[in-house]
Amino acid sequence: MDAMDVDAALFDVFGTMTDWRSSVSAELAVVGARTGLTADWAAVTDDWRRLYRPYLGKVVTGAMPWRSLDDLHRLMLDEVLPQHGLGALGEAERVDLVGAWHRLRAWPDAAPGLEILHYSRLITGTLSNGGVGLLARLTKHAGLRFDCVLSAELAKSYKTDPQVYLTAAGLLALEPHRILMVACHPDDLEAAARVGFRTAYIPRPLEWGPDAPPVKAPAGVDLVAEDVPALARVLGV
């Protein structure tokens, strides 16, 4: 592809721009210390996150009516806690922990990379399963500067539903091929490509922690970059 032949770059957020695992584990550990409960907090986090795709998938297939990601995170949490002997955790703690997903830390390259892109001619945005409010809070908390916050919520669905990508393109008044989807998840990029988006893969080998098996780079993407500043360089901005 012509390196600069897009008008917008839309970014996945959970995993691609933020380190959900260490952030949520740390908040779980704080709640544990406060309540006197102990567990393998990284394992709780991983199990919580493993329910993500099954739950969102129910919404995409229509098996469950649309609910906000906060609501779904709560349902997943209620399912995971007893599996780790944490069923005694109270209502206030559960509400607090759902909010942990609003307070994720960015990967160190993400904020400086977005600043570079902000000062280019490209429109930058999120395209995340997080809701608009969650994303506004998260990007502000994490220091991630985007020109706009786009969410699967605006299509009342979740990725990888094609309507999520097409709704974003419609709101930006851009043809899909003028938009670059940036993610560390092959299924997100494949779904974006199916509706005509260009795609960039950024590997995040630490997404599932240092002991996770290596992720294979997806075939068929337009660009691969090691991090966000490298993406800006490849895009020629």
Does position 153 interact with a second copy (CB under 8 A)? The reply is yes
**Using the rule CB under 8 A, is 154 a contact of a second copy?**
yes
Name the amino acid, one letter, at 110.
Answer: A
> Minimum Å distance from CB 149 to a second copy?
4
Own/partner pairs, 1-6, CB within 8 angstroms, 24+ separation: 1/198, 1/222, 1/223, 3/234, 3/235, 3/236, 4/235, 4/236, 4/237, 5/178, 5/198, 6/122, 6/177, 6/178, 6/179, 6/180, 6/198, 6/235
Where do we find the tokens 């990601």? Answer: 69
Q: Nearest approach, Cβ of 151 to a second copy (angstroms)? A: 8
Residues 168-207 that bind a second copy (CB under 8 A): 171-174
- Choices 106-114, 150-158, 184-192, 198-206; region in contact with a second copy by CB under 8 A: 150-158
Q: What is the tally of helices (H) and strands (E) in the chain?
A: 10, 6
Q: What is the CA radius of gyration of the chain?
A: 18
- From start to end of 109-220, where are the E strands? 123-128, 148-151, 179-183, 198-201
Select 44 or 114, whichever has its Cβ closest to a second copy: 114
In the list 46, 47, 70, 115, the residue contacting a second copy (rule: CB under 8 A) is 70
135 is a site residue for a second copy (CB under 8 A): yes
Burial 118-141 (b: 16+ CB within 10 A, else e): eeeebbbbbbbbbbbebbbbbbee
Distance of closest approach, residue 176 Cβ to a second copy, in angstroms: 14
Smallest distance from the beta carbon of 156 to a second copy, in angstroms?
A: 11
Q: Which one, 172 or 200, has the nearer CB to a second copy?
A: 172
Which residue number, 25 or 151, has a Cβ lying nearer to a second copy?
151
- Residue in 149, 155, 164, 181 binding a second copy, rule: CB under 8 A: 149
- Name the residues that contact a second copy, by CB under 8 A: 68, 70, 118, 123, 125, 131-137, 139-140, 145, 147-150, 153-154, 171-174
